[in-house]
Amino acid sequence: MITLSLNNLISRFIFLVALLLFVSGGFVVAQADPITVQARLVLGTSKEQKGKTEVPDTIRKRLAKVFKWMKYYELRSRRLSIGDGATKTAKLSKTSKIEVSNRKNGRIAVSLFSEGKMLVQKSQTLRSGSYMVLAGESGTDSAWFIVLSKTK
Amino acid sequence: MNENEIQLKVQALVDGELTGQEAKEWRSRLETDAGLKELHARLTAVRGLMTGAELPRTLPESGDFHWSQISKAIEREERQAKHLARPASSANWLLRWVLPLAGVACLMLLLTLLQTTKPDLGISLGSDHELELSIDDLDVMTFNTGDDAMSVVWLDYSLDLQQDEIDLWLD
């Protein structure tokens, strides 16, 4: 009788330990590390514009390899430190802004808003040294770029 | 009967080409017509002089040869007509359809092989990303660079780049 209750107790204990490990493991996996994202609003153009700051050379080379414009000027730049599962907003111009969310497993979600309406939301894993670019043409022979990169 | 025809009849009489009754009629006519009689005598004399004086003329080929040539030509034309009218045989069908199709297939294969090496645009499609659009009629193109170090979402949308008076970048 005593042996039976002891066995029952041990099995219950093992079950509780396993349950605790499972829950705590899942909790750890679900955690997202805080990240810092650099967001740049860039103007791409074929004409040189004095008084404007050019983008870093690594970004210029990457953009010029894909797009036709050769000059890329940084209009605005902000660094967003985003905690676990948090969302930060950055206003880019009078009418546009981005929302950056820090999701699980190194993924970020970037939403672009213009005049209060969301245009697009892109989510992907953003590694250090890689870039997420949202872009479009703006008027005569120029284009806008929002270049997001992960900083350490 | 004119003069020329009369002379030809007399010539035919001299040459013995008239039938019995006709020859008899013309002979009696010669008896009564001095002019015709004189013509008959002259033609008879000329014929007598020419008899034995004509050189023998022989055909370079026999008559049978000419007929055989004509017969062969007719047969040849008939064969050609039959050949044209005959439906295409399997060999002809092969030549008309299969060979051109095989040629086109070879050309397509060659072009395909030539295009196997894709042009290196430095971009790739598809990656670990999700895209959500809120405006239906917004044209969007998305791609990654070849080294996967830059993902691009290109929007057919002109963004207002004017800076706000109050800089509202939020940390």
**Beta carbons within 8 Å of A30's beta carbon, 6+ residues apart:** A104
Q: Which of B138, B149, B168 sits opposite A119 (nearest CB)?
A: B138
Mean pLDDT, rounded, of chain B: 81
Mean pLDDT, rounded, of chain A: 83
Residue with tokens 């111009």: A93
Nearest residue on chain A to B128, alpha-carbon basis: A124
Q: Which of A89, A91, A135 sits opposite B164 (nearest CB)?
A: A91
Among A109, A104, A151, which residue's Cα sits nearest to residue A134?
A109
pLDDT confidence band for A28 (50 / 70 / 90): very low
State the ipTM, two decimals: 0.77
How far off is chain B from A94, nearest CA to CA, in Å?
4
How far off is chain A from B103, nearest CA to CA, in Å?
40
Nearest residue on chain A to B149, alpha-carbon basis: A130
Query: End-to-end alpha-carbon separation of chain A, Å?
Result: 62
Q: Which of B129, B145, B164 sits opposite A123 (nearest CB)?
A: B129
- Say if the Cβ atoms of B150 and A130 lie within 8 Å: yes
How far off is chain B from A141, nearest CA to CA, in Å?
12
- Strand duo A53-54 + A117-125: pairing: unpaired
How far off is chain A from B126, nearest CA to CA, in Å?
11
In single-letter form, the type of residue at position B141 comes to M
- Say if the Cβ atoms of B159 and A133 lie within 8 Å: no
A86 in contact with B at a CB cutoff of 8 Å?
no
Q: Look at residue B121 and tell me whether its pLDDT is greater than 80.
A: no
**Which residues in chain B have their CB less than 8 angstroms from residue A137's CB?**
156, 158
Q: Which of A120, A125, A136 sits opposite B133 (nearest CB)?
A: A120
* Six token digits for residue A56: 């870093």
pTM: 0.52
CB A88 within 8 Å of CB A110: no
- Say if the Cβ atoms of A133 and B127 lie within 8 Å: no
Outline where chain A has alpha helix (H).
2-30, 57-66
The pLDDT tens digits of the residues spanning B56-113 come to: 777 677 778 888 889 999 999 999 888 777 666 667 777 778 888 999 999 999 888 8
Nearest residue on chain B to A118, alpha-carbon basis: B134
Range A84-108 average pLDDT? 89
CB B138 within 8 Å of CB A119: yes
Among B136, B143, B163, B132, which residue's Cα sits nearest to residue A112?
B132
Q: Look at residue B27 and tell me whether its pLDDT is greater than 80.
A: yes
Q: Is A21 helix (H, G, I), strand (E, B) or coil?
A: helix
Nearest residue on chain A to B138, alpha-carbon basis: A119
Q: Look at residue A60 and tell me whether its pLDDT is greater than 90.
A: yes
Q: Look at residue B171 and tell me whether its pLDDT is greater than 50.
A: no
CA A1 to chain centre: 61
**Which residues in chain B have their CB less than 8 angstroms from residue A133's CB?**
150-153
